[in-house]
Amino acid sequence: MKRNSRLSLALHTLGHMAGDPQRMRTSADIAEHAGTNPVVVRRVLGKLREAGLLTSEKGHSGGWCLAREPEQITLADVYLALDESLVATGGEEETPACSVEHVLQRKVASVLEEIERSLIERLAVTTIAEVREHG
Amino acid sequence: MKRNSRLSLALHTLGHMAGDPQRMRTSADIAEHAGTNPVVVRRVLGKLREAGLLTSEKGHSGGWCLAREPEQITLADVYLALDESLVATGGEEETPACSVEHVLQRKVASVLEEIERSLIERLAVTTIAEVREHG
DNA sequence: ATTGATGCAACAGTGAATGTTACATTCATT
DNA sequence: AATGAATGTAACATTCACTGTTGCATCAAT
């Protein structure tokens, strides 16, 4: 897989699920379609389940299914469920003794926070149901 | 050092240079202050020189100096000089056969491009001269 | 009971970024 | 001219997060 694979995998999978919401899919099926490993799929989809976007069933004839209607799941929901920022925060670096560094961190951090909010707003406009039609 | 260290190192160094623009600094001095290696400093500052933000002089009593006045260098200039996107683009992935994946990539990519532009606009508002006063 | 699925822990493999070493080059100083 | 101090750059080592993999416990339908 490639970079930012978690978000790609999640969106890709939900996009397909949106086309046939009743069907239950196994992590093996999903992994094969996505060209990755079933355990990786479970890791990523597990996050989405924690966020209430998916349900999973154990045991024979188990698998994964949407927890809501496709029109009720936005790209922002998925993004937030994975709690990974596309906007690199620079990490929670320890407060530096150097005043220049300190001022910089505050300035840059405030810009990035605004950008992050803006990103989420834009992602919230699109649902996974819209991913199937009009490219 | 940490993540996104190139941008941090660049901004930090320029911030200090803005406080005494005439003074010439060696990569060894800068590295010591930043807690890193002189070669790393040269790598990063070299990018800034290519972008016309800094000048460097070889030989005895050489070193690094601002190429413009501090008020003429914005955070966006530095960001662009390093041509690294804080907004992860997801890379130039090969066009997928799967239509869902294709639609997703286009949608997400267009959002990220907007966000990237917005980020640069906001960074362009602050100059490295402003980093020294009013935290 | 058996089969086929998730859940999870532990470890291996990968790749990008940083750190390091070494050396050629350049230029002021002596 | 010789020296010393700096950049420029290539090559290699190290680090670190992420992905991939294996193994096994657990759970539920058959």
CA distance A17 to B49: 50
Protein-to-nucleotide distance from the CA of B113 to the C1' of D15, whole angstroms: 31
CA distance to partner chain A, nearest, from residue B56 (Å)? 22
Protein-to-nucleotide distance from the CA of B90 to the C1' of D6, whole angstroms: 40
CA distance A116 to A101: 22
Q: Which residues pair with A22 in a beta bridge?
A: none
Using one digit for the tens of pLDDT, what is the confidence trace for B78-106?
A: 999 998 887 876 555 667 778 998 999 88
Neighbours of B15 (CB within 10 A): 23
Mind listing the pLDDT tens digit of every residue in chain A (135 residues)?
A: 555 799 999 999 999 999 999 999 999 999 999 999 999 999 999 999 999 999 999 999 999 999 999 999 999 999 999 988 888 765 556 677 789 989 988 899 899 999 999 999 999 999 999 987 654
- CB < 8 Å to B119, chain A: 87, 111-112, 115
Taking the Cβ of residue A76 and every Cβ of chain B, the question of whether any pair is shorter than 8 Å is answered with no
Interior/surface letters A77-98, b for 16+ CB within 10 angstroms, e for the rest: bbbebbeebbbeebeebeeeee
Asked if residue A46 lies in contact with residue A12, where contact means CB atoms within 8 angstroms, the answer is no
Residue A124: the pLDDT is: 97
User: Does the beta-carbon distance from A103 to B15 stay under 8 Å?
Assistant: yes
Using one digit for the tens of pLDDT, what is the confidence trace for B19-40?
A: 999 999 999 999 999 999 999 9
Asked if residue A132 lies in contact with residue A20, where contact means CB atoms within 8 angstroms, the answer is no
- The domains of chain A, with CATH numbers, are 5-131 (1.10.10.10)
Nucleic strand C under 7 Å from the C-beta of B60: yes
Nucleic strand C under 7 Å from the C-beta of A2: no
Q: How many residues does chain B have?
A: 135
SS3 for B93?
coil
User: Does the beta-carbon distance from A100 to B131 stay under 8 Å?
Assistant: yes
What tokens were used for A132? Answer: 């199937």
- CB < 8 Å to B88, chain A: 3-4, 86, 88
User: Does the beta-carbon distance from B100 to A135 stay under 8 Å?
Assistant: no
Asked if residue B45 lies in contact with residue B55, where contact means CB atoms within 8 angstroms, the answer is no
- CB < 8 Å to A112, chain B: 86, 119
CA distance B47 to A119: 28
CA distance B71 to B93: 39
Nucleic strand C under 7 Å from the C-beta of B105: no
What tokens were used for B62? Answer: 């050489």
Taking the Cβ of residue B118 and every Cβ of chain A, the question of whether any pair is shorter than 8 Å is answered with yes
Mean pLDDT of B55-67: 97
